[in-house]
Structure 1
Amino acid sequence: MRRIKCEGERIGRAGDILRCGSLAYRVETDWAKWPDQMEHMTALNCCWGADGFLYVVTGKPDAPVVVFDRDGKYCRTIAQGRFGKSHSVSCTKNGTLLLADAHKSAHVIKEITTEGKEVRVFGTQGVPGDSGYDFDYLETLQKRGESPTGTRWNKNAASNARIDSIRRRGQPFCRPCGMIMTPEGEYFAADGYGNCAVHHFDADGVYVTSWGAPEDFRVVHSICMDRLGRLWVADRENCRVKVFDTKGNLLAVAEGNLSRIGTVFADETYLYAAELDGGVTLIGLDTLEVAAQLGVPGDGVFKAHGICADDKGNLYLATNKANENNLIRLTRIE
């Protein structure tokens, strides 16, 4: 099992430029042109479709997916009323979108068209997997005079208590965080807010198997597959990324100078680990070594809950903020 040491020097931005080694990006906080009624919309995650549009999830029932063109111009909103809390979005080889609904009473992942039409539902609406998860567990701890597990970055007692309540790996789903489709058409899901599992479904959407346990993961927050067929999984509260084959065998762990991992995304060259408390770490897919660590944890601007890249290597950060920095473009400088 390979250890990927994320221990490089971290440098904040200088003016509008974010640089690390040979990589440099221009920071554009106003790239996305939100309509007036969405001026302070929250952006949780995003992906570029094969149709050339950027699909952004907001977590809002009345605007679960907002669509932008390549110039950052607002185009349309889709899937209104279909999600309690749209948490993540990924594009499939079939041109559809996979969205996890992280609402406390949803427990489903939906595949929809780019027009918002429902194609397939994974899980059963309103029925959680039996992981022991208790949304109100903080009250139980307080009645016993106990405190939830403390972590360096997460100071939210209710959030930490909910994670503590997870006793075992449950069946799909309990407040899932994300799903991808592989080039072969199979599906892998990160079931993390109320579970501790990676789930595998075949190309027909039939459940195959799962792996994970409370001691393995503390919020399975995101999953992606690289061009070599490896699965990268964000172990958010443990501030690390785990790498598996499609059978669940552990191949590598990336850890060190990282904050909580919001999203993992891979292009042809790099794995991008978006850090929820500030920054982005790039790992070379061929070398399995850190290529750059952009930004410094604690930086209020670069709190990256979600990330994706376009075909020119520009990065798009969804910051989980309801302000002008909710969707940031980092334009690659050659």
Structure 2
Amino acid sequence: MSTRRNFLKTTGLASAALAATPSFGFTIINKNKPTADVILGHGDYQYRLIKDWAQIGHVNVPLLNCHEMMMDSKGRLIMIGDHPKNNVLIFDKSGKLLDYWGTAYPGGHGLTVSNEGDEEFLFLADSGWYLNKLGKWIKHNGRITKTRLDGRVVFDIGHPVTIGIYKPDEDFCPTETAVGPNGDIYVADGYGLSRIIQYDANGRYIRHWGGSDNPDPNYRLVSAHGVAIDYREKGNPMVVCTSRSEQCFKYFTLDGKYVKTVKMPNMSVCRAVFDDNNLYAGVCWSQPKVGKTTWKDHTGFVTIMEGDKVISNPGGTEPIYKDGVLQKSYQLENKPIYHGHDVCIDEDKNLYICQWNANHTAPYKLERV
């Protein structure tokens, strides 16, 4: 635990905050300030909400949906979105906008930073869907593109009908990529057939698995929204696939053999993001304790795990286990986070939250306390 966080926990201010937090995950600190601090989360994973972290003007740099963000080796925060005027935005950790580029990815959705020795690359997933000026969703051809950090294209991976594993009338709408330890590329067709397609480092097809129509429940993926590589178990990296409509993560070997399922009750989770022993994920939707909501309603938050156990839900209720089984988690009534879509973690364990359908808001910062 850092010295800063130890100091905060020894003060009366932090003690009062921690005492008030566990039941609700929401605390107001120092009510004499013009704008009170909002503290989200539980236990040792609590955060100060900073909504105005990003220093951008929405007229010059407009935003639609902020889908995903990763940090490169220089500490720059690279974000992908789907506004037709800019697909990729690059920030420093103070929130200053350093650069923005790209109009060729109108369905900009997934972003992965890949370190290949002396150079880093981006893998961009264009889902094949975008919102036009009339507010209507338009479908085009989804694809995966490998670029340099400045946007120069290295190669594209297009529709898998070209290699004979999809039929001409089957949709390919990729939402995410992950890069394995040997450079293999794993593509999540999250809005198409919910398959994971594995390619080698040069984009040559190897295998695929999953699918929403898979008769084997272990291999079935329904809205395979995210894919990531879990290196937490030494010598045993695994492919972690989101089955968002089933509210779970499913783990596979690097060659697609099923390992386990981790259930996330009432949490429509996005991709898994790993840091130390933790798994972080945006929760795009949940359902209230009473009644039902639609996919357009703001019902999301963020979830944090140690190993396979949920230990904090910033923006949501405290995680509860009964007889070792995780119970349903819910969004806080004041809706501090609308739709958690991705989480980026810096070296100080602060979080940067990208949101979908969040009234054109820029990413939020959650400063760890």
TM-score category (smaller protein): 0.7 to 0.9
Change (3 A) 1:10 1:246: farther
Change (3 A) 1:198 1:124: closer
Q: Distance in 2 between matches of 1:124 and 1:213?
A: 16
What fraction of aligned residue pairs are identical, expressed as a percent?
A: 23
| 1:319 aligns to 2:355 (yes or no) | yes
Given that 2:281 and 2:342 are in contact with CA atoms closer than 8 Å, whether structure 1 keeps it comes out as no
Q: Distance in 2 between matches of 1:10 and 1:54?
A: 33
The worse-fitting range, judged by mean Cα deviation, of 230-239 and 256-265 is 256-265
Match of 2:301 in 1: 279
Return the offset for 1:42: 2.7
Deviations 1:147-183 (A, max 9, x none): xxxxxxxxxxxxxxxxxxxxxxx6xx70100102123
| 1:231 aligns to 2:254 (yes or no) | no
Equivalent residue for 1:291, pick from 289, 302, 311:
311
Return the offset for 1:306: 1.6
| 1:109 aligns to 2:113 (yes or no) | no
Match of 2:121 in 1: 96
Match of 1:219 in 2: 223
Equivalent residue letter for 1:99 = L
Equivalent residue for 2:55, pick from 33, 40, 61:
33
Q: Distance in 1 between matches of 2:336 and 2:180?
A: 32
Return the offset for 1:262: 2.1
Return the offset for 1:50: 1.4
| 1:65 aligns to 2:100 (yes or no) | no
Match of 1:51 in 2: 74
Match of 1:255 in 2: 263
Q: Distance in 1 between matches of 2:91 and 2:284?
A: 23
Q: Distance in 1 between matches of 2:23 and 2:204?
A: 43
Match of 2:39 in 1: 17
- Please give the residue correspondences for 1:81-92 in structure 2 after superposition, counting only pairs within 5 Å: 81-92=103-114
- In structure 1, the gaps of 5 or more residues are 1-8, 134-169
- Please give the residue correspondences for 1:83-232 in structure 2 after superposition, counting only pairs within 5 Å: 83-94=105-116, 95-103=120-128, 104-124=139-159, 130=166, 174-215=172-213, 216-227=220-231, 228=233, 229-232=237-240
Given that 1:111 and 1:121 are in contact with CA atoms closer than 8 Å, whether structure 2 keeps it comes out as yes
Given that 1:223 and 1:231 are in contact with CA atoms closer than 8 Å, whether structure 2 keeps it comes out as yes
Return the offset for 1:230: 1.4
Return the offset for 1:88: 1.3
Please provide the CA RMSD for this pair.
Answer: 2.4
- In structure 2, the gaps of 5 or more residues are 1-21, 29-37, 129-138, 214-219, 286-299, 317-329
Q: Distance in 2 between matches of 1:108 and 1:188?
A: 13
Given that 1:42 and 1:58 are in contact with CA atoms closer than 8 Å, whether structure 2 keeps it comes out as yes
Q: Distance in 1 between matches of 2:353 and 2:342?
A: 6
Given that 1:30 and 1:324 are in contact with CA atoms closer than 8 Å, whether structure 2 keeps it comes out as no
SS in 2 for 1:92: strand
Greater relative contact order (Cα 8 A, min sep 6): structure 1 or 2?
1
Q: Distance in 1 between matches of 2:207 and 2:87?
A: 29
Runs (4+) of structure 1 exceeding 6 A deviation are: 125-129
SS in 2 for 1:294: coil
Equivalent residue letter for 2:127 = A
Given that 1:52 and 1:69 are in contact with CA atoms closer than 8 Å, whether structure 2 keeps it comes out as yes
Change (3 A) 1:39 1:120: closer
Given that 1:314 and 1:331 are in contact with CA atoms closer than 8 Å, whether structure 2 keeps it comes out as yes
Deviations 1:118-167 (A, max 9, x none): 0111124997973697xxxxxxxxxxxxxxxxxxxxxxxxxxxxxxxxxx
Deviations 1:22-49 (A, max 9, x none): 2211111111111342355431111111
Deviations 1:236-294 (A, max 9, x none): 11111111111222222121433211222111221112100222222223xx3223233
Equivalent residue letter for 2:283 = E
Q: Give the TM-score, by structure 1 length.
A: 0.78
Q: Distance in 2 between matches of 1:239 and 1:132?
A: 30
Given that 2:65 and 2:360 are in contact with CA atoms closer than 8 Å, whether structure 1 keeps it comes out as no
Q: Distance in 1 between matches of 2:74 and 2:266?
A: 34
Change (3 A) 1:10 1:324: farther
Q: Distance in 2 between matches of 1:47 and 1:293?
A: 21
Given that 2:209 and 2:256 are in contact with CA atoms closer than 8 Å, whether structure 1 keeps it comes out as yes
Deviations 1:64-107 (A, max 9, x none): 101111211011112x2321210011100131111101123222
Equivalent residue letter for 1:105 = H
Given that 1:131 and 1:195 are in contact with CA atoms closer than 8 Å, whether structure 2 keeps it comes out as no
Paired residue total: 284
Equivalent residue letter for 2:336 = V
Q: Give the TM-score, by structure 2 length.
A: 0.71
